[in-house]
Amino acid sequence: MVAILGGGLGGLSTAYYLLKNNVNNNNNLRLLLLEATNYCGGWIKSIRTKDYIFEQGPRTIRPKGITGLNTLNMMQDLGLSEHLAPISADHPAAKNRMIYVNQNLHVLPSNLKGVFQKNLPFSKPLIYALFNDIKQPHKELQDDSIYNFVERRFGKEIADYAIAPMICGICAGDAKEISVKFLMKTLFEWEQNHGGVVKGMMRSLFKSKSGEELQLSDLAKKSQEEKWNVYTIKGGLETFPVTLCEFLKQNEVDVNLNTRIEEIEFVDSGTVLLKNSTGETLKANHVYSSIPAYSLANLVQKQHPELSKYLNKIPFVTVGIVNLYFAADKLVSPAFGFLVPPIENSPILGVVFDSCCMPDQNGTVLTVMLGGRWFKEKFGDDATEKKLFDIAMQEIKKILNIKENPSVYNVSILNKCIPQYVIGHYERVEKIRQYIQNNNLPISLVGSSYDGVGINDVVYSAKTQIKGDCIYK
Ligand SMILES: Cc1cc2nc3c(=O)[nH]c(=O)nc-3n(C[C@H](O)[C@H](O)[C@H](O)COP(=O)(O)OP(=O)(O)OC[C@H]3O[C@@H](n4cnc5c(N)ncnc54)[C@H](O)[C@@H]3O)c2cc1C
């Protein structure tokens, strides 16, 4: 029997790929999924009514790259093709992504032409950043913060106004702490191996491309033909984990809700005991952990304190989400929304204009994101939902000039919801997996703590981790 710990997207995807592997290899493996709460989907949660959808966690998925195409393959297999709502490259939500700087909203360039023009708050056309890169001397490093790297290669303005807010939007983190390898691994390698990004890019043009080939589903091909920028799911993103969970149940995966695991004991390389909160002990041959690294740290602490220590070194941040519904239509201009660079020292991270990005919304729907890396600093230890709502309203009234109050709102405080891939993260994960291998522990690590924080990364990590495990070959 194989146990899967956690029923968020990481755990569900692991069960899905194990199931597929089972069928392909004629295995008769029993799969047991263990989820602490009464819901499968983890942070993916939607509130839907006939007038609006409030996404409390993620809302858009990127279709591009191998991980994006892989998720689309899964979507088609689950019968979700007709439920997807794509945003193509020429949609206002794809073209109009803004930042709030010096009390003004500025649209970031979204095409090549824009790179040659001067766009406020940048003092020069962005193309000048490439000259900066060519001029910079070589600096040998193992890792660096993404902020330092971009400042060194392309200048301070790009680091402050493009990269720092982008990191807030992706992981609610501080670009001065997040590893450059999180988003710019190839660019960093070009700098390290060729002395600069432009130099490295020129050399790579003459090299043949290698990498995993993926068989594309019709849906994945369609996303390429129609040039999707991002997509959402009609009726809310929650449809994805809910459908995936149904698929697993129909295929005899034993899905156990309200089952919190409190301790893991490794007996030998093919036996592991999982103790749950009611004192019951479950026995498995292998366990896939998709729970956050800090939760797993607690479960292995007794038997493997060193492993626990490494796992606890992966930090997480708390995010406040304020969803707002205004009955009035078009209170904001058509755009994806805006992010606020940390240098502005605002209490909010950004605002998504959901009624522009998602279908079937009658009125104006906005989501304000707050806190992240700065949650405690801005809101203290006793942040209340009321406090977050008041701050969110005060900021959107000021920035978007909205006069009315919302007809409906929802506030969620998502405690330790996004892992931070700080400098040294990839080496730390390598060390953790090395420890597991050296000690022959029958456990594999999936989920957002290790190989990428987005939906596509989590799905793809489940696929690659099960492939790497010899017991299923
Ligand atoms: C606010 C927010 C916005 C986001 N926006 C986007 C976006 O727009 N696009 C995108 O691609 N990604 C986005 N993400 C990231 C995306 O949501 C995550 O990558 C993904 O949901 C992580 O899934 P997971 O299974 O790894 O973890 P989780 O969702 O954390 O699931 C872990 C599960 O394990 C369970 N669990 C924990 N401990 C135990 C235990 N001891 N025993 C049993 N079960 C346990 C939990 O209850 C939970 O269900 C966002 C995330 C957040 C928080």
CATH number at residue 309: 3.50.50.60
In a domain, residue 303? The reply is yes
**Domain boundary residue, one of 205, 226, 259:** 205
Which amino acid makes up residue 420?
Answer: Q
Same-domain check for residues 308 and 426: yes
CA 227, distance to chain mean position in Å, is: 22
Same-domain check for residues 180 and 244: no
Question: Closest Cα to atom 8, ligand 1: which residue?
Answer: 58
Percent of the chain with pLDDT over 70: 97
Q: Which residues, other chains included, contact 321 with Cβ-Cβ below 8 Å and sequence gap of 6+?
A: 56, 57, 367, 368, 369, 370, 411, 412, 414
Residue of 317 and 200 predicted with greater confidence: 317
Average predicted confidence (pLDDT) for the chain = 93
How far, in Å, CA of 14 to CA of 290, rounded? 8
For residue 212, pLDDT beyond 70 = no
User: Which residue out of 43, 258, 288, 322 has the highest number of ligand 1 atoms within 8 Å of its CB and is therefore the one to mutate?
Assistant: 43
pLDDT tens digit sequence for 358-395 = 888 889 999 999 999 999 999 998 899 999 999 999 99
The reply to whether ligand 1 has any atom less than 6 angstroms from the CB of 34 is yes
CA of 112 to the centre of ligand 1 (A): 35
Question: Closest Cα to atom 21, ligand 1: which residue?
Answer: 43
pLDDT of residue 470: 45
In a domain, residue 129? The reply is yes
Range of the domain at 301: 2-42+238-314+422-472
For residue 465, pLDDT beyond 70 = yes
In a domain, residue 328? The reply is no
For residue 462, pLDDT beyond 60 = yes
Same-domain check for residues 200 and 249: no
Question: Closest Cα to atom 19, ligand 1: which residue?
Answer: 454
Question: Closest Cα to atom 14, ligand 1: which residue?
Answer: 58
Full DSSP string of 386-421: HHHHHHHHHHHHHHH---SPPSEEEEEEEEEEEE--
Same-domain check for residues 23 and 150: no
For residue 472, pLDDT beyond 70 = no
With beta carbons less than 8 A apart as the criterion, state whether 10 and 448 touch. yes
pLDDT of residue 27: 74
In a domain, residue 55? The reply is no
Task: State residue 201 phi and psi, 5-degree precision.
Answer: -65, -40
Ligand 1 atom at minimum distance from 299 CA:
41
pLDDT of residue 473: 36
The reply to whether ligand 1 has any atom less than 6 angstroms from the CB of 297 is no
User: Which residue out of 167, 182, 291 has the highest number of ligand 1 atoms within 8 Å of its CB and is therefore the one to mutate?
Assistant: 291
In a domain, residue 254? The reply is yes
DSSP run (H or E) holding 220: helix 218-225
The reply to whether ligand 1 has any atom less than 6 angstroms from the CB of 43 is yes
For residue 444, pLDDT beyond 90 = yes
Tokens of 380: 């203290």
How far, in Å, CA of 75 to CA of 70, rounded? 9
Same-domain check for residues 244 and 175: no
Same-domain check for residues 305 and 432: yes
For residue 209, pLDDT beyond 70 = no
The number of folded domains in the chain is 2
Q: List b or e across 208-239, with b for residues whose CB sees 16 or more CB atoms inside 10 angstroms.
A: eeeeeeeebbebbebbeeeebbbbbbebbbbb
Same-domain check for residues 309 and 452: yes
Q: For residue 444, what are the β-bridge partners? A: 288
Same-domain check for residues 148 and 195: yes
**Domain boundary residue, one of 183, 205, 227:** 205
pLDDT of residue 213: 78
Lowest mean pLDDT among 55-59, 191-195, 233-237: 191-195
The Cβ of residue 344 has, within 10 Å, a number of other Cβ atoms equal to 17
**Domain boundary residue, one of 205, 223, 251:** 205
Question: Closest Cα to atom 13, ligand 1: which residue?
Answer: 58
In a domain, residue 324? The reply is no
For residue 101, pLDDT beyond 70 = yes
For residue 5, pLDDT beyond 80 = yes
For residue 41, pLDDT beyond 80 = yes
For residue 26, pLDDT beyond 80 = no
Give the CATH number of the domain where residue 149 resides.
Answer: 1.10.3110.10
For residue 283, pLDDT beyond 70 = yes
For residue 85, pLDDT beyond 90 = yes
